A and B are shown apart, each in its own frame.
Chain A
Amino acid sequence: MSGREEIVGELMKLLEGFNVKKVPLAPDTDIPAQLELDSVQVMDFIMQVEDTFDINIPQHEVAEIRTLNDLADVVMKRKGA
């Protein structure tokens, strides 16, 4: 599981669990704006991402993430690090 597409696919699967409004998900879906997650759900989601990919996402990077693509970038960077 290292290709970008696979990562985006895996992230979508995880995010689907939080997608109560059933917003169609795409790589450029703006997670905070379009999914209306509350702060606890966001943290849950980030933790699931960390567990799935076995990485740590530092808080300052969390603030920079808006889209699934952004998140995939962070995952790839952390996996490579």
Chain B
Amino acid sequence: MTKERTDASRQVPFRAGGFSTLAEALDYAALSGNSLTFHDGRGGIAHEMTYADMARQAKAMAGRLLEKGLMRGSRVALMATTEPEFFIAFFACQYAGLIACPVPYMTRLGMRDEYVENVARMMRTAGVAVALGSPDYLGAIRDAALKADVPMVLAYDELAGQPRGAPHLKPLGPDETAYIQFSSGSTSAPKGIVISQQAICANTTSILRDGFHAQAADRGFSWLPLYHDMGLVGSFLSPLVGQHSMHYMAPHDFSRRPWLWVRLISKHRCTISFGSSFAYELLVKQAQRAKREALDLSRWRIAGVGGDMVRPEVLLAFAEEFADSGFRRAAFMPSYGMAEMTLAVSMHAPEEDIVLDVVERDSYKTMRRAVPAKSDGDEKSVRAFIACGRPLPGTDVRIVDDQGRRLGEREIGHIEVKSPSLMDGYFKNPEATEIAMSEDGFLKTGDMGYWLNGQLVITGRVKDLILYHGRNIWAHDIEWTAEKVDGVRTGLVAAFGVENLDGQERVVVLVEARSRDRAENVRLCEEVKSRVHHAIGVPCEVYLVGRNTLAYTYSGKLARSKVREAFEKGEINLVDLP
């Protein structure tokens, strides 16, 4: 069995973090005897790699990168495919003193052109010196690099065959940067979040010790994309800092065969695995298929939930559906975090049942108070939230009103956070950094929430963020896409998410009509709809509104939340179309 082999090759005791750099953490994990298993799209094993293999290959690749004449601190774009090469390349940067910048890989039907544009913007933002990617996707990466004036592009395997100079490696030190994470936010104006070695070491250690109560025998499973903070930090770097054995599957393979998630957890006796509410919902829908093979989910002690709004009814349905497979509801670990804080801000205590809070819908929407529902109201009058745990030790969280005053229990306000895991700032973007930070050094998350017995309850994510099927979509990106349609004027488009009764969001786009011609207006709406669907990958409802409907603030910036409020109250007149 795997366990015996692991114990036999373990040369060092289990250590839950507390390293001063990522390179130091991998050097330690290399002595643990533990390994990473990469599954193919049908659940079979495609590759296995021990941490020792990974460290050795990363050092070899570091030498090859330095041989290219890269200066210390140069940025290296890495296509974050779920395969050993990305893991190796990420750590090659750590050992070589280079700054890794993970970028997405192409996932959606017909998305090539948009993908190239988006990645080119990321490369330009980070001033990338070299781009590395999987050979299968090299054409697209090359096109992006060309647009971004990146001088060098190499496939992972191509680099492996190149000469490796006298490798005197000086890994990134405790006072240096660890990597640049692109915000899961806007693709039209990406921001590079600079994460220091100190921040990543602090956050991963806290996730392991305070969040997971990590044990030597923990074994994780993840299909999360590695270009997002949840995947990169939660399912790659945290397990590595704790020398945990891991199983991985590519995100696109998960969306093809979601049932493999629970099957592989069962088969490989995994104890920790994260997903979004949307992912758990997919599994509820596919439960019968998943259960065609006998499942044993009893070892799954941490079923993390994050990345989107935690939806109570989904978790309850999942727990019920998989109870006969040994799944326990107390395994759910609703969590809250963001890339600007490296990842985790608060995590629910392990082995404790989830906390459901049912409040009056009206008072939470209009009075900013979470008033407990009096009786079992119908779904129109009540709203259920799930608490996302206490802030991790050393994390200072405050909830404030519009004037910045701290609020008490059950009062809904703006969430602000400060901790050793805070980013250094947005890469070469002091303006954006200044906007994101309070004067006394707290990150203004833009999220809303309230306190419940010391636990954080999130009532809404950033106002400009639309949560669609587990994806974060920036309203600005939708507006920007719509503005490219002939006849749509810049600034006269508003996009926002409208929450349905089940807590899901649908995307609404309002466009100010310029023409009185019916046929022209119909064409305009159809074209906006199809452009947005194609470029962003979400269906949306498009409505025409009369001139001067869309409200502007004094700065000329669209007051999206005001428009949304008016739309939800039915105060906006929509132009009739046949």
A residues with a Cβ closer than 8 A to B are: 30-34, 36-40, 42-43, 46-47, 56, 58-60, 62-66, 70
A-B contact pairs, 21 of them (CB 8 A): A30-B534, A32-B110, A33-B110, A33-B534, A36-B533, A38-B469, A39-B469, A39-B537, A40-B255, A40-B282, A42-B108, A42-B109, A46-B109, A59-B250, A60-B136, A60-B137, A62-B106, A62-B107, A63-B107, A63-B110, A70-B110
Q: Is the Cβ of A31 less than 8 Å from the Cβ of B106?
A: no
Cross-chain contact of A33 among B134, B469, B530 (Cβ < 8 A): B530
Q: Is the Cβ of A65 less than 8 Å from the Cβ of B110?
A: yes
User: Which 10 residue pairs are nearest across A and B when measured between Cβ atoms?
Assistant: A63-B106, A66-B110, A33-B534, A60-B136, A32-B110, A59-B252, A32-B109, A33-B530, A43-B255, A42-B109
Interface residues of A, dominant DSSP:
helix
Known A46-B109, A63-B106, A70-B110; 14 more pairs at CB < 8 Å: A32-B534, A33-B531, A36-B529, A36-B533, A38-B538, A42-B108, A59-B106, A59-B107, A59-B250, A62-B106, A62-B252, A63-B112, A64-B110, A66-B109
Q: Is the Cβ of B108 less than 8 Å from the Cβ of A63?
A: yes
Q: Is the Cβ of B529 less than 8 Å from the Cβ of A46?
A: no
B28 CB within 8 Å of chain A: no
- Bound CA–CA A37/B112 (angstroms): 17
Residues of A within 8 A of B106 (CB): 59-60, 62-63
B212 CB within 8 Å of chain A: no
Residues of B within 8 A of A58 (CB): 136
Q: Is the Cβ of B539 less than 8 Å from the Cβ of A36?
A: yes
Rounded to whole Å, the gap between the CB of A65 and the closest CB of chain B is 6
Interface size class of B (residues with CB under 8 A): 20 to 34
Chain B residue with minimal CB distance to A44? Answer: B256
Cross-chain contact of A43 among B140, B250, B256, B539 (Cβ < 8 A): B256
- Bound CA–CA A78/B392 (angstroms): 50
Rounded to whole Å, the gap between the CB of B577 and the closest CB of chain A is 16
- Bound CA–CA A70/B112 (angstroms): 13
Q: Is the Cβ of A39 less than 8 Å from the Cβ of B108?
A: yes
B124-140: CB near A (< 8 Å → 1, else 0) gives 00000000001011001
Q: Is the Cβ of A65 less than 8 Å from the Cβ of B109?
A: yes
Most buried by A among B106, B110, B252: B110
- Bound CA–CA A56/B112 (angstroms): 19
B385 CB within 8 Å of chain A: no
Rounded to whole Å, the gap between the CB of B119 and the closest CB of chain A is 12
Residues of B within 8 A of A64 (CB): 110, 112
- Bound CA–CA A34/B526 (angstroms): 10
Rounded to whole Å, the gap between the CB of B13 and the closest CB of chain A is 40
- Bound CA–CA A40/B530 (angstroms): 18
Rounded to whole Å, the gap between the CB of A20 and the closest CB of chain B is 11
Most buried by A among B105, B140, B255: B255
Chain B residue with minimal CB distance to A71? Answer: B109
Q: Is the Cβ of B469 less than 8 Å from the Cβ of A30?
A: no
B90 CB within 8 Å of chain A: no
Q: Is the Cβ of B108 less than 8 Å from the Cβ of A32?
A: yes
B98-132: CB near A (< 8 Å → 1, else 0) gives 00000001111111100100000000000000000
Residues of A within 8 A of B537 (CB): 32, 39
Cross-chain contact of B533 among A32, A40, A47, A66 (Cβ < 8 A): A32
- Bound CA–CA A27/B293 (angstroms): 40
B251-263: CB near A (< 8 Å → 1, else 0) gives 0100111000000
Cross-chain contact of A39 among B110, B137, B255, B257 (Cβ < 8 A): B255
Rounded to whole Å, the gap between the CB of A31 and the closest CB of chain B is 6
- Bound CA–CA A11/B396 (angstroms): 56
Rounded to whole Å, the gap between the CB of B567 and the closest CB of chain A is 22
Most buried by A among B109, B115, B538: B109
B524-547: CB near A (< 8 Å → 1, else 0) gives 000001110110011100000000
**Residues A36 and B255 in contact in the complex (CB < 8 Å), given A58-B136, A63-B140, A65-B109:** no
Residues of B within 8 A of A59 (CB): 105-107, 136, 250, 252
Residues of B within 8 A of A66 (CB): 109-110
Residues of A within 8 A of B140 (CB): 60, 63
- Bound CA–CA A34/B533 (angstroms): 9
Residues of B within 8 A of A70 (CB): 110
B273-287: CB near A (< 8 Å → 1, else 0) gives 000000000100000
Rounded to whole Å, the gap between the CB of B498 and the closest CB of chain A is 17
Residues of B within 8 A of A65 (CB): 109-110
Cross-chain contact of B115 among A34, A46, A63 (Cβ < 8 A): A63
Q: Is the Cβ of B136 less than 8 Å from the Cβ of A31?
A: no
Rounded to whole Å, the gap between the CB of B259 and the closest CB of chain A is 12
Residues of A within 8 A of B107 (CB): 59, 62-63
Residues of B within 8 A of A33 (CB): 110, 530-531, 533-534
Chain A residue with minimal CB distance to B530? Answer: A33
Q: Is the Cβ of B110 less than 8 Å from the Cβ of A30?
A: yes
